[in-house]
Amino acid sequence: MGDISEKVESAIKLLRKEGLRITEQRKAILNVLAHADTPLSAEENHVNLTTEQCDLVTVYRCLEQFVKKGIVEMGVRENGTKVYWLGHGDGTGHHHHLTCRKCGRAERVDLCVGSELEKIAHGYGYTKITHVMEAFGLCPICR
């Protein structure tokens, strides 16, 4: 449990540093992400909130703010649904996920080819590069 509360406290410190107010809604959303075993969509985050003080629109807005400030990372499921997890702002480093198509289980993958993609994008004249990259397959249990 200490690890989870440390993640939330670290994210709250980043909120303060980035000039965002520390609201009960924001704390609740971060707490759900800290307890999650896999990346969550905004809807899944909302369902897991233990308080009714936060509507779904607020969850969406907060998650987008968190992504912009580097507190939360965003990925995309194979069906296009955006998913979120506590990211490099919590001290765990930038990472991606390998997600099972059948059961939804997600494994953290500590590999990123972002720097290579950035070089290629710069070669095409692009700047301010970001990326979302996830891999999908069947986990050993589901195959």
Q: What is the mean pLDDT of residues 93-109?
A: 80
Provide the pLDDT for residue 130.
Answer: 79
Is residue 113 domain-resident? yes
Q: How confident is the model at residue 25 (pLDDT cuts 50, 70, 90)?
A: very high
Say what percent of the chain tops pLDDT 90: 39
Looking at the predicted structure, is the pLDDT value of residue 1 above 50? no
For 60-78, what is the mean pLDDT? 90
Domain of residue 82 covers: 2-137
pLDDT at 92 over 70: no
Residue 143 lies in a domain: no
Asked if pLDDT for residue 42 goes beyond 90, the answer is yes
Phi and psi, residue 62, nearest 5°: -65, -45
Q: What is the mean pLDDT of residues 98-117?
A: 83
Please give the tally of structural domains in the chain: 1
In a domain, 68, yes or no: yes
Residue 134: partners with Cβ closer than 8 Å, 6 or more residues away = 75, 76, 77, 78, 96, 97, 98, 99
For residue 58, being part of any structural domain is answered with: yes
Residue 53 within any structural domain of the chain? yes
Q: Is the pLDDT score of 94 beyond 80?
A: no
Range list of H helices, the chain: 2-17, 24-35, 42-48, 56-68, 114-123
In a domain? residue 96: yes
Q: Provide the whole-model pTM.
A: 0.75
pLDDT higher than 80, residue 23: yes
Q: 3-state class of 124 per DSSP?
A: coil
Residue 142 placed within a domain: no
Query: The domain spanning residue 118 has which CATH number?
Result: 1.10.10.10
